[in-house]
Amino acid sequence: MTDALNSIFKANSVAIIGASNDPSKRGNQAIRKLRADGYGGAIFPINPKADEIMGLPAYASVLDVEGAIDLVLVCTPAKTLPAILAHCGQKGIPGAVVLAAGFSEIGAEGAEIAAATLAAARKHNVRLVGPNTNGVFNLHNRMNLVGVQDVEPGAIGICSQSGNMMLGLVTEARRRGGVGFSSYVGVGNQLDVNLAEYLRYFGDDDDTGVPLFYVEGFQDGRAFLDTCREVTQKKPVVIYKSGRTEAGQAAASSHTGSLASSFALTRGLLRQAGATVVEQSDKILSIAEGLSKMPVPAGGRVAILADGGGHATVTVDALVDSGVELARLSAATTSRLRALLPAAASCVNPVDVAGGTDNDPSVAAACAAAILADEGVDILMVVGMYGGFAARFNPALLDNEIDTSQRLARLAGEYGKPLLVQSVYAALRTRPIETLKQAGIPVFVWPEPAVRCVCELIGYARARRRNATAPLVLPDGPIAEGLEILGTIRSEGRIAFYEHEAKALLAVYGARVPGEFLAHSEDDLAGAAERLGDGPVAMKIVSRDILHKSDAGGVRLNVAGEAAMRAAFAEIMANTRAHDADADLHGVLVAPMAQPGVEIIIGVVHDPMFGPVMMFGLGGIFVEVLKDVSFRALPMSRADAHEMVCEIRAAGILDGVRGALPVNRDALVDLMMTVAHLALAHPEIAEIDLNPVILRADGYDIADARMILGREDRSRDQAPRPASC
């Protein structure tokens, strides 16, 4: 697959189907642009009605060309595609970029053409980019089939579902300067090649330092995640996902289901796969640039070197707001700085030179050297007015300042630590600023975007380490006792588990479940105390026909003593009978009341795009009102589960509030991994909801559990496996 994409992006020869002498046509513009840029390969105009196009011999068909053709750019209408692809196949052309619209996006007629086109592509072994794309470019190959002007070559590879977004990024880059692009592909309708395949290409492409994806929707999310996990071991992957506010899944029968269509799910899964998810379009480029230029830091401790003023304060605010750790400079570093700077300078982090660089900018480089040498520093931010010393104070400082820019870049390289600059003068693109950029130092106008970039760099480093060291816990096959439980449910024609069945299945996979029992009559309650201990019990109706037990009067809590239990049994049966005269009442589940603790929810759903996905959150209002939940794809690592727990906003509650002890996070993670194992071993279970689980310092109680089989059981054979690891 990557071979075909390699042929497309690195084509040594391009045929332009629908080549034209009319300068308003794409079949003319493409040739003009290739020649203007000095494309080194062969160009074959294809047009049965012309002998010559722009001075090049024209051919009636690719079959008439003598040499090999790596790529065709198809500028002709949709309906011409099947025949063209047949020719391409005959000629052995591996790839085609198809500009035409008029496929599935225009309805039934177009869908028919799309089907015929895809069938032809498959039959003739031609990979298609698009259709309905504005093209591809590879600036390192001087091949620009999009026609966008004045794009600097560089390390960012763009894959976009919107041509306008690419244009926005390229235009922004031109304004910023010092940031360029390797390749671009507009994916169009993704009739053939999908996002995961493009990601694989960019991952393997040595010219691309950072693949940057603008995504409106995934067609095969799981493959994308698997590829992303691999690629991010080599390079950062930056993703902006739009279309975040679509209406939720219409009919979901569990809390997990109703929340699982949220942007939080996509973001959680992409981050799990190591991607850098940017949430504001105006930050996409600066984050991609920063990640492409800086090394992966060893840790997350940030030092600040400021030349006075408000920018240091704003930077510290933004770092602290984002939870970034400020480096503590060693005593040795502080004394080195003291020797370099005036008495009024601050020689702890944030360092403020207090005018100490005004007359000699090179002092900034000396300070940076001292700070970068400190083992307690992972990242250095230079903030304030750097690059404006000559402009502000004395033009005679210019050479000194340009030299300082070069020294700063060299120092970053020598220490292998990320160094970035925020400067008021960045907007003016002074020569010292431009020197920094050309030497590969990212430069920002305002502090917050610089801090955002630092956060994403730290996040990438952490995710890469996590995915390299924490193995995904792959499912064993299903356990026989588990299959028996499912067999019973199926044999009774149910899809919903009874609560005690769900808990029993959890127990099979190792979860601690309460010592509950099912009472079919009041007499079954005799001796309950011996079985469950002395405390009060919870009693709940068990019925295939009653989904909302409380609403039906089918729940009694804190019932103490056999007499009260008998009364509660009678009451529950009477209530539920009154609620639904025809309900099949299977019995009443009797379980010890859970000890007080923190209520949480653990759920699993099968996302149509991403496959099995776990959700974690605090229970009750936190999930229902605040939607404070986190998501990961299954299988996941224990580290993933730990991060899910840390990621929710209210995670502090797990550390104990109002005198409570912290909950046992290891036991919680054990339970999450058990649920993950169960879900993967039984993919035919469509939804799992443990809600609530009561967490305490000494463990947990699963107070309620629900599971539902898919309407058509999923086959275990379709259970996703990671592509690697």
User: Which chain residues interact with a copy of itself by CB under 8 A?
Assistant: 24, 106, 160-165, 167-168, 171-172, 174-175, 214, 216, 242-245, 280-282, 308-311, 313-314, 316-318, 320-321, 344, 384-385, 394, 424-425, 427-428, 445-449, 620-621, 624-626, 649-650, 652-653, 657-658
**Order of strands, sheet of 238-241, starting from the edge strand that comes earlier in the sequence:** 143-144, 136-138, 181-186, 153-160, 210-215, 238-241, 276-278
- Which CB, 311 or 540, lies closer to a copy of itself? 311
- Which CB, 21 or 61, lies closer to a copy of itself? 21
Q: Which amino acid is at 520?
A: H
- Which CB, 394 or 724, lies closer to a copy of itself? 394
For strand 537-543 and strand 555-559, is the pairing parallel, antiparallel, or unpaired? antiparallel
Three-class DSSP labels, 75-111: CCCHHHHHHHHHHHHHHCCCEEEECCCCCHHHCHHHH
Which pair of structure tokens corresponds to residue 486? 């499912």
Q: How far is the CB of 624 from a copy of itself (least distance, A)?
A: 6
- Which CB, 355 or 535, lies closer to a copy of itself? 355
Which pair of structure tokens corresponds to residue 440? 């590969």
- Which CB, 418 or 692, lies closer to a copy of itself? 692
Count the neighbouring beta carbons within 10 Å of the beta carbon of residue 302. Answer: 27
- Which CB, 12 or 242, lies closer to a copy of itself? 242
Q: How far is the CB of 87 from a copy of itself (least distance, A)?
A: 30
Q: Are 371 and 321 in contact (CB under 8 A)?
A: no
Contacts of 674 (CB under 8 A, 6+ apart): 506, 509, 510, 511
State the angle between helix axes of 447-469 and 310-321 in degrees (0 to 180), rounded to the nearest 10.
Answer: 30
Q: How far is the CB of 174 from a copy of itself (least distance, A)?
A: 7
Q: How far is the CB of 24 from a copy of itself (least distance, A)?
A: 8
Q: Are 48 and 120 in contact (CB under 8 A)?
A: no
- Which CB, 619 or 635, lies closer to a copy of itself? 619
In angstroms, rounded to a whole number, what is the distance separating the alpha carbons of residues 565 and 37? 85
Q: How far is the CB of 330 from a copy of itself (least distance, A)?
A: 23
- Which CB, 242 or 362, lies closer to a copy of itself? 242
Q: Are 329 and 377 in contact (CB under 8 A)?
A: yes
In angstroms, rounded to a whole number, what is the distance separating the alpha carbons of residues 387 and 227? 41
Q: Are 74 and 45 in contact (CB under 8 A)?
A: no
Q: How far is the CB of 598 from a copy of itself (least distance, A)?
A: 9
Q: How far is the CB of 570 from a copy of itself (least distance, A)?
A: 24
- What's phi and psi for 223, nearest 5 deg? -65, -40
Nearest partner of 152 among 130, 129, 184, judged by Cα: 184
In angstroms, rounded to a whole number, what is the distance separating the alpha carbons of residues 311 and 326? 16
Q: How far is the CB of 432 from a copy of itself (least distance, A)?
A: 15
- Which CB, 161 or 183, lies closer to a copy of itself? 161
SS3 (DSSP) at 613: strand
Q: Are 437 and 177 in contact (CB under 8 A)?
A: yes
In angstroms, rounded to a whole number, what is the distance separating the alpha carbons of residues 489 and 505? 12
Q: How far is the CB of 245 from a copy of itself (least distance, A)?
A: 4
- Which CB, 280 or 438, lies closer to a copy of itself? 280
- Which CB, 455 or 634, lies closer to a copy of itself? 455
Q: How far is the CB of 444 from a copy of itself (least distance, A)?
A: 9
Q: How far is the CB of 242 from a copy of itself (least distance, A)?
A: 5
Contacts of 577 (CB under 8 A, 6+ apart): 583, 585
- Which CB, 618 or 686, lies closer to a copy of itself? 618
Q: How far is the CB of 321 from a copy of itself (least distance, A)?
A: 7
- Which CB, 9 or 240, lies closer to a copy of itself? 240
In angstroms, rounded to a whole number, what is the distance separating the alpha carbons of residues 643 and 645? 5
In angstroms, rounded to a whole number, what is the distance separating the alpha carbons of residues 585 and 261? 34
Q: How far is the CB of 344 from a copy of itself (least distance, A)?
A: 8
- Which CB, 237 or 383, lies closer to a copy of itself? 383
- What's phi and psi for 480, nearest 5 deg? -55, -45
Q: How far is the CB of 314 from a copy of itself (least distance, A)?
A: 5
SS3 (DSSP) at 96: strand
Q: Are 623 and 601 in contact (CB under 8 A)?
A: yes
- DSSP letter at 561 equals S
For strand 537-543 and strand 598-607, is the pairing parallel, antiparallel, or unpaired? unpaired
Q: How far is the first Cα of the chain from the last one, in angstroms, to the nearest whole number?
A: 21
Q: Which helix (H) or strand (E) holds 559?
A: strand 555-559
